[in-house]
Structure 1
Amino acid sequence: MLRLVVIALFVVVIWVLILKLLDRKRPLDWNGIAFAIGFIALAFYLRHVTGMG
């Protein structure tokens, strides 16, 4: 499951970079990106602390 999440994050980062290169007019929503990364980091932390998930 951990590998799946890491691969999914890698794909999303590549996708965002491609979109950024192709269309520079559209700004990125950094608040949403930061929230998603924080949510995933919190999930990993809670999994480590509690041993569940």
Structure 2
Amino acid sequence: MIRIVIVVLAAVVVWALLVWIIRQMKRGDIDWKGIGVIAAFIALAFWLRHVAGMG
């Protein structure tokens, strides 16, 4: 039962984030530089984990 509650809550959070992202895209208030930095940081973390085996 607790798994169902967690899955439903996660689905609601994902849905809310998608709605927020779509609204931000329509208004054009997106900070693309910040998104690029976040994506680069995540890619670097995966690459370092692959190369060094840390993380």
Q: More helix per residue: 1 or 2?
A: 2
What count of residue pairs does the alignment treat as equivalent? 40
Once the two structures are aligned, what percentage of the paired residues are identical? 47
Structure 1: runs of 5 or more not aligned: 1-10
Partner of 2:20: 19
Runs of 4+ in 1 over 3 A off after TM superposition: 20-26
TM-score using structure 1 length = 0.57
Decide which structure has the larger Cα Rg and report it: 2
Partner of 1:34: 36
TM-score using structure 2 length = 0.55
Q: RMSD value over aligned CA atoms?
A: 2.3
Structure 2: runs of 5 or more not aligned: 1-13
Per-residue CA distance 1:3-45 (angstroms, 9 max, x = gap): xxxxxxxx4xx72x52243354351000000100100000000
